[in-house]
Structure formats: structure tokens, C-alpha cells
Structure 1
């Protein structure tokens, strides 16, 4: 086994005594919303953290996991950090690669800043941390649809050398039934890291609430059970802090990345693009060439135009989009040009604009079958609730903290996920060179 990671600490942030810089643990409860807080307060370990300061947090666009988790480590929106979706656009590919790789991020992360200042960092299941050049102990979120063994292989490859030791030690905790389940594994790794290495910074991602909502709906018995399960895992992490003797010197955060909207239909825009000849198929039904492509991003879709498409083709595609908006049988409510999305939401990427679905419309990348599947259709086998909507729509995410630098029993009204990252940096005495967020001063004992 490698030696324990050694901790060195730069100067204390404003508002703390010299030598009193505190550790930071960030727990992402994926898809937790502010309306979940009353129930979460009935659970013992959520209640301990919510007893500090908390409030609603607005996601960046798109309201999906990987862009928002990257904002929580960079204080930037998507045009600043470059992670524009969960998956990389891949026209004609049925299962595109996700943004697993930390080297795709185009802005400094809190882990980069921490490394420069001699702080030690660890991440467990945190999105976009594979192959990280800065994290001391990284066990990223990554999987292979081929099953458990190929998943373990790619997980070991994407982890840092120290992280691989934890993967090997706890690999038996990964569950694989119909799909991967990492909650138990992530908790086991996180608690082991706290007891063994005691890093200055630890970020952990727990996804069970999100998975339950996708599969069963926003507020179901399964979602309640997921919250209870996650509460138990949070309790294990809090216990590990206590057993390591560092609980009193640690600020602890709960963050989330988006709410959920009930799904009423699934829309395959690429099916309509095939019908109009903008996507062409070979004899086996696979995509052979394309002029336009809609990359599903939950409840919205990115409109991609082939760089080689001529002006006439572009005009025809945009005219077709206008037809969709005007047709009450097609669930497209609006089209937002990229320049408008950048100005209004700090959103950018390799696409022409964004299709906004009518309420409860989930976009899919696939092109076969038919263009629309409704919840009452006999062959509907898709998600029950989803996200990816515009940030101001529907219920909001949540941000909560407790610890030596956090005021007690504070309720603030609103922040953004980029504000969360700015707050984490401030607590560690770090500063992003560019930030779209600001410190949430309301929750701090020493206001800024």
C-alpha cells in the first residue's frame, strides 16, 4: 500500500484564525430538490447537515449531471468549462461516450487550485474526473455497458494510482443487476479514504435518488427509500470523519444538480430528419451521412448542423424546425439560437441552437421506430421523469452546509451551482481566476 497522502496547508481564508483552515467534504445527492428538504430533515444524517445553512440552488443549462457537477468544481457555466452535455455529440452512434475525462474541462478546477497550494484532494464517483492530472486520489464515475468486468477495467484505468488501490479493495461493493449501481461502493471508498488518507478536500457523488426518480417518478415510495438509503451512507461518512478525528475541523456540504419533471412523451427528432432526408441510412438502417442531427439532452435537444452543409441546406433545416414549432402534433415549443443561449445562460458548444420541448417531452438520439412515444402507449419503455429543462423551470436543486465556518440555522433564498464552487474555494483560501459565481456569504459565520 502507498503511504498516506501528506497534508500541507496554505494560509487561512478571510474570517478564520491563523492555522485554522478547515477541511472540506462535498456530498452530491443527485436530483435532490429544495422541496425534498422537509422530508430530508426527518432523516438523522441529512438533518445534521441541514441544521447549518441551506437554500435553493439554480442549475446551469443544461440541467443535467455532468455540466452541473463541473460547474460545482469550476465556478463556470458551460461556455467557460466546456462540458456541454452528459454525452459527447456523436451523430449516428447509438451509445455515445460520456464526458468521463477531466482533460476535457477547459477551465481550472478547484482540484487544480488546491494542488497549486499544496492541499490534498480526493474524489469518489464525481463526474468528469477520469484521468485527472490534479487529483491525488480520484476514483471517477465511469462504466462500460459490457458489464462488471469491463467496467472494473476502465475504472482502474481512469483512476489515479492511489485511487486504483481503493478500487481493488472495494470492487466487490459494485452492484450489477440490470445496470451498474455504485452507491454502496462510493460510500465504502469514501469512508476508507477519510480514515486512511484524511485529504483536505473530498468530493463524493451519490446517484440513487436520481435513479429512483428516472425509473418511478418524482415522488414515489422508491424515491423515499432512496433518500433513506443515502441518509445511511451520509451517516457512514460522518462517522468516518469522527473516527479519523477530523470531524470538528471539516466543513460539510450537500449539493445537487437539478430537479426533475414528469415525462409524458419521448421524442425522436432524428426520425423526422430521416423522413425529410437530412439524415441518411444505409441498407442495415444505420446512419451513413447527415446534414442535421438532434443530440438529446434530457428535456431539450441540441441542433447540430454538419460543418459541410451549405447555406441552402441550413435554411431548409431551420425552416423544418419552424414547422415543428407550429405543428401542434410535434412537441417542440421553441428554438433558441446559440448566441441567445450563450447570452442568457452562459451556454456554448458545437451546435447551432437548442430545441425546447413542450412540457414533459424527453428527447432521444435514436432515429428508428417512430418519432413520438406517449406514456400510455403499450410499447412505452422509457423514463418516467427527466431533467435537462431550462434552469428557471420547475423545482430547484439544493445547497446546504454545516461546519466550523458555517452559521447555524440559516436559510438563504437562492444561489447557483457556480456560487457553490466559489464558496468552496473561499473556504479553502483559493480563488478562481475567472468565475461566473460568487461566494454565498449568507451561510458563513464570517460574512464576506
Structure 2
């Protein structure tokens, strides 16, 4: 397969939504990419629409059930902070960066999800955080990415960062991106910015803070474009800007495991720790998986179905829809769940097993518990006003086309086609309108 480009930068602005188009089309640095670019403002995300499954879909062209990353976090009942799918080993099959590496292209990634210990990324600062009291953030990162590269970045720009706080974290990623472009000259560079996602979680989807984050992203994009020009590779580079999911405002958190405990589906010790369970709600924010400890326990499954149906009958419980594991699989989610539930507008699910069944989100509890959010994602792609965005420009890209609709699953095959790579069997397809006719 002939490559149309040998240089590509993929910039993920986490939570960039279709409705952001009216703003970003007016901003000067986005305009630089729009000028000769093609785009779609109707990109269907996946289910559940969470960051780690989404980014795995972007680099594989597959639904979560097929690439294996079916949630952000692992099933660890009762854990205060479950571990995340940080490692490349969580992804089944090949990825865009694996195939690039096999083709002797230099690869780099900055805070791209699910890349911990990825051997095919030569310059890798993975998205991973210290999740245990005895862990140190710098050491956790060094041990799971390219140590010398990370040491270099931290020595140069570590002072820019303020832990994991935004917008400083993205400012650090920006400086690292510019440095990487100018000194490492990777053929494939994957960059993940989370400023916008954080602001929407903390302040709401259409908040001033979210809008300000988009303006900051425009300035960051300008710095990256300038670095590409300074490197002499601007005209030979394919520039890709994308979102992974949208977000919806909510103000009520549903703790379904609290109800499961009341129904004798969870067993706690005297200290409130889960010591056994028959059914467990694994939150995906706007949706949730319900798992059985014993998938063959038909009696518990029947009881669980009755419980969920009774809850859904009362709108104030926040459950909009119940589907079976088989139906979840057909939508691309984990078919191994017993059920999957969708939150009603204004609601989302968390995994807590103590406290109230439904908790109103207030400023007071938001300041004391990071699980309480103003907006979140994870919802079904069928939710209204929930599309994300894709824009490509530069080498190999057909200019000035608006593609009416596409899926997140189509991004991987399309990027692979531009690079002359083969992802094998995918759920998505090449969007030919993006490909320059030669």
C-alpha cells in the first residue's frame, strides 16, 4: 500500500465536541488547519464513551469489545481508586503506532492513553499516575515509558507542571511536544491534551472555563504549527485534530452498589469494606456495567433484572435504559456483563458502595470528593448533541471537504491508509473523502 505521507501528528483535544465547531472555526490557529483541511462535525463515538476505550479505538479502528479496553478502569470491587487500563498489553491486536514502528517510522507519544510499556513507541511519556500511597509519580512514569526521554523533558520543563492540575499539565505537554518535534523529528507523534475535559468535568459543558480551555488549545495548536514550520517539515506533515467524545451536564450521582448492598448482593465487613459480592455495578459515568461474580448464577441474574426494572420504573432513580450483555456486545461494549444501564439526563453512575443511593452534586461535596462532577461522558452515542469532531489537513489529505458523518472507528483505518499501513481487520473503514486523489 503506497504511503501518502511519512509524517503525521495526531492531536487529541479530549472532550472536543461537535458543537465546539462554531467556536473553533473562528480561532486563528484552528483556521490555519481549516484553510486547506477537511473535517467532520458528526463523528459518532463508541459505547461506553470513555477516554481510554476511545483512544484505543482511535489507534485500532475497533470497538471496545474487540480491542479489549472496555472501560477506563479495572474491575476491582470496593477499591477507593481502581487501577486504570494504563498498559499497551490491555489492547488486543495491533495499533497504528505498532504498524508505524514495523515500517521503520520513528514513533512518539505524549500522555496518549493505554501506552504504558509500549515497546513500539520510541519516545514515550505514557498517561499513568501514582495510584498507591507508596508510589511516586515521576518513578511510575519513568518505569512505564522511555526513561531517558522523560528525564530530559522533566529536566527541561518539569517546573511548568503543577502535579496533575490543569492547565499546567497541558502546558507541560505542549512544551514537550514542541521539543519533541524540533529535536526528535518523529514520523508519527500522538499527543493527548486534557485541559478541556477537566474544565467540563469541573464547571460544566458550556461553562466559561470550558470556553477558556478551547482558547488555550488554540494557542497551543499555534505553538505546535510554528514548531512544525521551524522544523522544515510542515509541508510534508499530515496534521490531525480530533475529539474522542462529548460530555453532558448532570447533577445527580447514582450509587447503585449502595442499593445492591441493601438487596444482599454485596457483603460488607464491620469497617464497610466489600468482602464478597454476587453483583457489582462498574461505573462508566454516563453508563454502567453490571457484572455477576458467577456468570452462571441464573437466580441472581433474574433477581438483578427485577431490581433494575423496578428502579427504572421510577424516573427519579436515574436509569433510562437497561440492556443485556448480549445487546451490549452488539453495540461494541463488553458482552461479558450481565446488563448495561444508561443514565437518564442529569444523572451519572459512580461505584461507591457506602453513603446515599442517589447523591445531589453540590459545591460542598464536590470539594470533598473528586467523584462528584458537573459534567461527564460515558453515555450512549445515541444521546442528543453528543457527537465529537475530526479535522485533517496537510500531506495526503484532500482539501476543503466536509464529511457529513463518520465513526470514531473509522479514524484508525483512515490514518493508516494515509501512512501506507495496514491495521488488519477493523470495525471501521477508510473515509475516502479525506484521501487526496493521486
Q: Give the TM-score of the pair, scaled to structure 2.
A: 0.93
Mapped to 2, the partners of 1:227 and 1:192 lie a distance apart of: 22
Of 242, 247, 256, the residue aligned with 2:243 is 256
Evaluate the alpha carbon distance shift between residue 400 and residue 318 of structure 1 in structure 2; reply closer, same or farther with a 3 A threshold.
same
The answer for the alignment partner of 2:27 in structure 1 is 43
In the alignment, is residue 442 of structure 1 matched against residue 433 of structure 2?
yes
Mapped to 2, the partners of 1:212 and 1:179 lie a distance apart of: 8
Of 349, 352, 356, the residue aligned with 2:338 is 352
What are the superposed Cα offsets for residues 231-252 of structure 1, whole Å, 9 maximum, x if unpaired? 1111111111111111110000
Evaluate the alpha carbon distance shift between residue 148 and residue 262 of structure 1 in structure 2; reply closer, same or farther with a 3 A threshold.
farther
1:191-230 map, 5 Å = 191-230=178-217
- Superposition CA RMSD, Å: 2.1
Identify the range of structure 1 (399-408 vs 22-31) with the bigger mean alpha-carbon deviation: 399-408
Mapped to 1, the partners of 2:127 and 2:299 lie a distance apart of: 42
Evaluate the alpha carbon distance shift between residue 369 and residue 435 of structure 1 in structure 2; reply closer, same or farther with a 3 A threshold.
same
Mapped to 2, the partners of 1:114 and 1:316 lie a distance apart of: 49
Of 96, 110, 126, the residue aligned with 1:140 is 126
What are the superposed Cα offsets for residues 303-338 of structure 1, whole Å, 9 maximum, x if unpaired? 011027733222222221121122333211221111
In the alignment, is residue 54 of structure 1 matched against residue 35 of structure 2?
no
1:17-166 map, 5 Å = 21-51=5-35, 52-55=37-40, 56-145=42-131, 150-166=136-152
1:290-329 map, 5 Å = 290-307=277-294, 310-329=297-316
Identify the range of structure 1 (278-287 vs 179-188) with the bigger mean alpha-carbon deviation: 179-188
Q: CA deviation at 1:377?
A: 9.1
In the alignment, is residue 392 of structure 1 matched against residue 382 of structure 2?
yes
**Alpha-carbon contact 2:286-2:342 (below 8 Å) kept:** yes
Q: CA deviation at 1:410?
A: 1.5
Q: Give the TM-score of the pair, scaled to structure 1.
A: 0.91
Query: Does the residue aligned with 1:412 lie in a helix, a strand or coil?
Result: coil
Mapped to 1, the partners of 2:295 and 2:409 lie a distance apart of: 36
How many residues get paired? 430
Evaluate the alpha carbon distance shift between residue 350 and residue 371 of structure 1 in structure 2; reply closer, same or farther with a 3 A threshold.
same
Mapped to 1, the partners of 2:134 and 2:45 lie a distance apart of: 32
The answer for the alignment partner of 2:402 in structure 1 is 411
Q: CA deviation at 1:186?
A: 1.1
The answer for the alignment partner of 1:7 in structure 2 is none
Evaluate the alpha carbon distance shift between residue 270 and residue 171 of structure 1 in structure 2; reply closer, same or farther with a 3 A threshold.
same
Mapped to 1, the partners of 2:354 and 2:416 lie a distance apart of: 47
Identify the range of structure 1 (352-361 vs 310-319) with the bigger mean alpha-carbon deviation: 310-319
Unaligned runs of 5+ in 2: none
Mapped to 2, the partners of 1:398 and 1:59 lie a distance apart of: 9
Mapped to 2, the partners of 1:396 and 1:308 lie a distance apart of: 34
